[in-house]
Structure formats: C-alpha cells, structure tokens
Amino acid sequence: MNSFIRLHEESNKIGSEFLMTEVDTAFTFLALAQTTSSAETRERNRRNACEAYKTALRMQTRVVMEPQRKSEFQQKIKDLRKRLLELGLDIPEK
C-alpha cells in the first residue's frame, strides 16, 4: 500500500478518535456542571462543553469516518446539541 494512502487512513482514524473524545469530554463537562454547587464552576463547565461541541463541529469536515463510526458520531453530536439547548446555551447549528 502506498505510504501516502496509509498515512491518510491513519490520520482519519486519529481524527475520528479525537472527535469522539471531544464529544465525550463535552458530556463530562455537562455532568460536572450539573453536580457542582458553585455557580462559577457550573458556568465554566457549560462554556467548556459548548467549546468542545463547536470544536467537534468545526473539525468533523476534516475527517473521513467509516459509515458506522460516522453514524455513531452524528448521534452523539445530536444528543449533545439537544442537551446544550435544553440548558439554554447559545450554540451553532452546524
């Protein structure tokens, strides 16, 4: 296999893992925001979740995912968007 093709495939695999981790991190920030008694910590974690969501949206166009992985990512990003909107956070659509 051509080394360029192998490098491209590896890059997409790493990018896919990054995107999934970014969405999981956003959910973690939301869980932390939900459990803290500090208003400052709650707001910071919500902002961090929004930033992770925006990063995942921005970076997804640079990664070619396998169909099953792409479907999983799209469902997670949809669920994350829903949670952020439920909290009244201002987030981009795409």
Render pLDDT for 29-86 as a digit per residue (tens, 0 to 9): 999 999 999 999 999 999 999 999 999 999 999 999 999 999 999 999 999 999 999 9
* Total domains in the fold of the chain: 1
Residues 87-93: what's their mean pLDDT?
82
Q: Would residue 34 count as lying in a domain?
A: yes
Q: Would residue 41 count as lying in a domain?
A: yes
Q: Would residue 93 count as lying in a domain?
A: no
Q: Among 7-11, 18-22, 51-55, which stretch is predicted with the lowest mean pLDDT?
A: 7-11
How many angstroms separate the CA atoms of 92 and 43, rounded?
18
Q: Would residue 51 count as lying in a domain?
A: yes
Q: Would residue 25 count as lying in a domain?
A: yes
pLDDT of 92 strictly over 80: no
Q: Would residue 47 count as lying in a domain?
A: yes
How many angstroms separate the CA atoms of 33 and 47, rounded?
10
Q: Would residue 91 count as lying in a domain?
A: no
Residues 26, 80 contacting (CB under 8 angstroms): yes
**pTM for the structure as a whole:** 0.89
Residues 42, 63 contacting (CB under 8 angstroms): no
Residue 9, CB-side half-sphere exposure with 13 Å CA sphere: 7
Residues 46, 91 contacting (CB under 8 angstroms): no
Range of the domain at 52: 3-86
Could you say which DSSP state residue 37 is in? S
